[in-house]
Structure formats: structure tokens, C-alpha cells
Amino acid sequence: MIDWLKKAVFYEIYPQSFYDSNGDGIGDFGGIMKKLDYIKGLGANALWINPCFDSPFKDAGYDVRDYKMVAARYGTNEDLYELFAKAHEKGIHVLLDLVPGHTSEEHPWFIQSGKAKPNEYSGRFIWTDGWIVGVKGHPYIGGECERDGTYMLNFFKCQPALNYGFFKPQEPWQKPMNDPDCLATREAVKDVIRFWLSKGCDGFRVDMADSLVKDDDENKTGTCAVWRDIFASVRKDFPEAAFVAEWNNTGQAIISAGFDMDFFLNWGGNGYNTLLRDYETPGGDHSYFKADGDGDITRFLREYLPRYEMAKDRGYISLLSCNHDTPRPRRTLSPEELKLAYAVLFTLPGVPFLYYGDEIGMRYLDIPTKEGGYTRTGTRTPMQWKMGKNLGFSTGDEKDLYLPVDSAADAPTVEASEADPDALLHVVRRVFTLRQESTNFDADSPFSVLVQAKDKPFVYTRGNAVCAVNPSQKEMTLTIPEISGKAILYVIGKAECIEESLTIGGGSFVILE
């Protein structure tokens, strides 16, 4: 396990929307560099930057046209190298976003692959052997290239799937995993990883990490084997490089594939979903952290605890406030409810991720799609720094902004939050500071559940500390032998500890040490 991850607290930056340093309406590397002190002041010591490579931006940069060149909208390669260096000076690690499953249709590899005459890239993507031959069980498209065949898509029409082979080929055009063309794809990805690590990048978040080998078995045996091969090669020269998977399956991502971290992602009705966004299924909003939601922490723990036990000596589960694909939690939760949510998410085991703007309670905005964002677009709006023009995001004209800023009179900003001692921002800072100051909240510090029941506070230990949360609206008292001799270290709301008795107010969180 990589040592620096024990204290890591990540801040996810959607680069288009973080801070515009040159007035063109789009965030850039210069903007990120100007705000490194702010990020460090939050208590975050690591960044995940969403795709910043050359792209036509039909899927906001997840359609990569050149893996080794940054998009001009953000700056130059040299600017990104400078960002790595300046971040490192401040003790901040930087992960980039790796998109290994597909490229843009404008990538030179795909352009060559679509030619009628065979060449070294002909097998880099998944093609059938005839223009009227489809790809059973997968999206595909034809009629776009001179080659006699159709090609598989991973997502949008603009994203042809790279070829890592089929787990059990069924058609003449389906290549096995050990085919030279499929092995060449692996080597190309290793080359991209090595390139950026050699320039100062500290690792990668990996997009759609579980989808490489097609028609894989239920255990993702083929895809896991590909990742083990990639890691075995890369880690020889870059042993401290960290990789976090967009996978949502601890056993596969960490145990079988060898990732350092795996996200517990927001999927409708799953354990994580029940904490913050349990409004996506019929029956009303029963999110655990919604004060009147009548939620149940056991719905989360049923999934979380087995994952934790499986991963605790091999890697880390990463809980997140939100990400670029997920509705912001402020969509339905108040800042007071979010204080409790973040306090719990960021004191549980593993490596936490905070999405930019969540620390001030930025809202989800109902706005038109941009660059393939669709319903995700409202989560990707510009960071709100201060009141005034463009909420401090850009000095450019409003019409040139990448996305509109929150137009509400009470739009939350960093400046206003700094001035308000009761603001959500200060809770985030305090919890992150505790993670840095105390070994109790290291990513791998011991964890156990003391109380879990639908109508009781959720109580758990981290190292020598005991944490309790009561998101309901009523005060509760319970006896907990493990708190004997401990005192309140930090509280949100109201709590009282007398010997083995803990009284915790409604809408409260407490740490005892």
C-alpha cells in the first residue's frame, strides 16, 4: 500500500470550471495554480483533475484526441508540468484522468484504423468484418470510414472502443486478449501512463476501468488480468504512483486488478446512494442525512462493511461528496445537513474525495447540456469565489463563460463562507485538519461499528476516537462503554458525554477522544 495515501485528502477539479486566469471564460492550469493555497488551506493535499488532454470536446474531454498533449483551452504541456511542480512544492499530489477504454473518433490511431488498407493501427479498435455486420450486445456504428466494417462504441458516437480483446471470442473478427493487436493496445496505454508520470504526475483516476476486455465474465477476469499486467510494468519504475478506479467493486478493482483505491459510486438504490441521494427511486426521499428522511444507516453498511473488510489490508475504498457525473448533494440537502454528511464521509476509513464547490454548498443548476453533459451539466458550473462579476470565476464577458454561474441572490461563495463562522466551509476544514493532525483518521486506521440501527445514532470508532452522528430531528441518549474516559474533541450541534452515557442532539455529530 502506498504510504502517502494514508494521509491523502483529494479535491476533484473540473478544469473548465474552476478558475479562469486569462479572461476567456474557461478555467485553466493558470487558474488552478493561483488557487493552490486555497486548496491547501482546505486541508486537501491531493488533486484529481478531470481530462485535460487535446479533444474535440464532444464529451467534455473524455473523447481524447491526443493523450500526450493538453488541450489549448487549459494552456500548454509546459503549464501542466509547472502545475505539477508548484503543487509538489506545497505538498500536494496530482492525479490526472486516464481514459483507456476509447479515444475520440478524431484520434490519429482511429483515423488510421478506419483506412481500407491494413496498417499497424487496423486492430487497435474493435471492427467487424463487414459493413452490414453489427456487434451483438454492444453499440456500434458504420458508414463513417472507408474500411469495410462497423466499429464498436464505448459511449457516444464519437468514442470508438479500443481493442483489448474478447474474453471468449465468438466471431472471426473478435480477437483474443493475447492477440498482438490487443497487446499493442496495452503497451500504448503503458506508454501514456509512463509519459505523464515521468513529467511529474502522481497517478491516475481511471475512467470506466472495468470495461476493457469485451464480453468479460462476471468476475471481470480478463480486464483484471490486463490491469495486473499494466501495473506490473509501470510500478517497477513508479512505485509511488497511485491509481483509483471508476469501478465500484472492491473485490475486482483492488483485490483482483490491483488498484490502490476504488470509488464507492452513486448508483441508484445502492448503499452510497442511500446516504445523500435516495430520491432517485420511488417512495420519496429517504436519504440518511436528510433530517426528515427517516433514513437507515444499515442500508449503507450492508454494502460498505463487506467491502471494507475485503479491502482494508490491500487498498482503500474512496467515498466522495460528489463528482462530475453525480448531482451535487446540495440539490436536496441543506448546508446544515451537509455538515453531518461530510463529517461522516470524511472520518470513515479510506481516501476521501471532495468535489470542487461542495465545500461551500454549491447548488445543482437546471441548465441546458454542454459538451455531452446532459443531466450532468448542472454539476459542472463555475466555482463561486466571490460576489460580483461571474462570481469571481472569470473577468471575461458573461456570454463567453463555459457555463453560467448561479444567478441566485444567495449563491454561496468562498468569500461569504470565509466570513461566516457557521458556514459549511469551516466544517470541511476542521474535519480535514483532524485527518492531518491525528493518526486516528488515517486512511488505514482501525474502524469498527458500535451502534447501527434505524432509529439510533450511528456510532463508530476510528483508532482511539469514537464518532457519533444523529441526523434525525430528535435528541437521543445511549450507553456506550467504549466512551468511558473520553472527552468531546469536536462537535457539530449539541452533545454531552458523562462516563458511558452519550446524549446527542438532533442534527448533530461528535468526536470523542
Q: Domain boundary at 386, 411, 437, which? A: 437
Query: Domains in the chain: how many in total?
Result: 3
Say if 170 falls within a structural domain: no
What is the H or E stretch that residue 78 is in? Answer: helix 77-89
pLDDT at res. 229 = 98
CA dihedral (297, 298, 304, 310) in degrees, to 10, reads: 150
Q: Domain boundary at 388, 408, 437, which? A: 437
Residue 26: band (very low, low, confident or very high) from pLDDT cuts 50, 70, 90: very high
CATH number of the domain that residue 120 is part of: 3.90.400.10
pLDDT at 293 over 90: yes
226 and 107 assigned to the same domain: no
CATH number of the domain that residue 457 is part of: 2.60.40.1180
129 and 265 assigned to the same domain: no
pLDDT at res. 280 = 82
Mean pLDDT, range 260-288, rounded to an integer: 94
Considering the chain, what percentage of its residues have pLDDT values greater than 70? 100
Residue 391: band (very low, low, confident or very high) from pLDDT cuts 50, 70, 90: very high
pLDDT at res. 137 = 95
How is residue 234 written as a grid cell?
A: 509501470
Computed over every residue of the chain, the mean pLDDT equals 97
Contact status, residue 378 vs residue 335, Cβ threshold 8 Å? no
pLDDT at res. 283 = 83
Can you give the residue range of the structural domain that contains 491? 446-512
279 and 358 assigned to the same domain: yes
157 and 71 assigned to the same domain: no
Q: For residue range 236-260, what is the model confidence (pLDDT) as tens digits?
A: 999 999 999 999 999 999 999 999 9
Residue 357's identity, in one-letter code, is G
CA angle in degrees (0–180, nearest 5) for 199-200-204: 100
Q: What is the DSSP string of 177-206?
A: TTSHHHHHHHHHHHHHHHHHHHTT--EEEE
Mean pLDDT, range 359-365, rounded to an integer: 98
Say if 125 falls within a structural domain: yes
How is residue 464 written as a grid cell?
A: 482511539
pLDDT at 401 over 90: yes
